[in-house]
């Protein structure tokens, strides 16, 4: 092996990578926010007693979860203009991420809602708790506690998925990496460093989520 590594050319582009990292965060947070909205609205439909309301939600969840994100983002990228909606690639990517994450969020939130048994709520009333207290202490907090681990790991997964948004040239880390690669021809060095950046991002996110979980969801409750 007589290849000379040159990481210097990549470090020269550090400001660009830093901005692109913010772009990745932007995509991830906006995508997750949209996913949560879709998740909450979707779970109302998913748990509806009316089959006509339930069926489209189930179909949506199954289709999104059983097709690759790459195909979804291409489909949305080409479908939106045909519907008369012209958006830049980054906004399109957020919509695609939101739709993808939303399908997973529906199933996760549904699990949380169903984990609260009716007897708990009734017991709350029997103890003379107010309606608001029953909702806050018996429904909301345990449900949040139940879905928190899956929801946060889904968030991290979504953050890693943002790298696929390079395929429609959204503004994020992987597209910046591809730009630097085509300028410098240092493919391995660029991707090696960018992979490291992603690892830092996901590790930091995991740490923050664990901290929040310990602060708010640990037993005994205060």
Residues in touch with other proteins (CB under 8 A): 1-3, 62-63, 65-72, 74-75, 78-79, 82, 156, 160-164, 166-167, 174, 177, 187-188, 191-192, 194-195, 198-199, 202-203, 206
Are 139 and 152 spatial neighbours (Cβ–Cβ below 8 Å)? no
Q: Give the nearer residue to other proteins in terms of CB position, either 65 or 131.
A: 65
Smallest CA-to-CA distance from 72 within 89, 104, 95, 96 is with 96
Q: Give the nearer residue to other proteins in terms of CB position, either 65 or 130.
A: 65
Sorted by sequence, the CB contacts under 8 Å of residue 35 that are 6+ apart come out as 97, 98, 99, 100, 101, 102, 104, 105, 154, 158
Q: Which residue has the tokens 């390079």?
A: 166
Smallest CA-to-CA distance from 105 within 153, 52, 173, 142 is with 153
Q: Give the nearer residue to other proteins in terms of CB position, either 90 or 159.
A: 159
Which tokens go with 107? 């199933």
Q: Give the nearer residue to other proteins in terms of CB position, either 56 or 68.
A: 68
């Amino acid at each position: 092996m007589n290849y000379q590594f040159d990481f210097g050319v990549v470090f020269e582009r550090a400001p660009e990578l830093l901005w692109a990292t913010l772009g990745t965060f932007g995509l991830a947070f906006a995508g997750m926010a949209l996913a949560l909205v879709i998740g909450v609205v979707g779970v109302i439909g998913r748990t509806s007693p009316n089959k006509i309301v339930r069926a489209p939600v189930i179909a949506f969840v199954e289709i999104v979860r059983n097709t690759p994100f790459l195909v979804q983002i291409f489909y949305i990228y080409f479908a939106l203009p045909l519907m008369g909606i012209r958006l830049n690639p980054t906004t399109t990517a957020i919509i695609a991420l939101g739709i993808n994450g939303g399908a997973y969020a529906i199933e996760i939130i549904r699990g949380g809602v169903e984990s609260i048994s009716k007897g708990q709520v009734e017991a709350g009333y029997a103890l003379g708790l107010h309606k608001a207290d029953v909702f806050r202490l018996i429904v909301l907090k345990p449900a949040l506690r139940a879905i928190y681990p899956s929801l946060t790991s889904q968030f991290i997964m979504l953050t890693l998925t943002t790298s696929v948004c390079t395929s429609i040239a959204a503004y994020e880390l992987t597209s910046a990496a591809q730009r630097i690669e085509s300028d410098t021809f240092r493919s391995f060095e660029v991707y090696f460093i960018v992979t490291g950046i992603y690892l830092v991002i996901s590790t930091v996110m995991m740490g923050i989520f664990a901290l929040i979980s310990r602060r708010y969801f640990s037993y005994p409750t205060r």
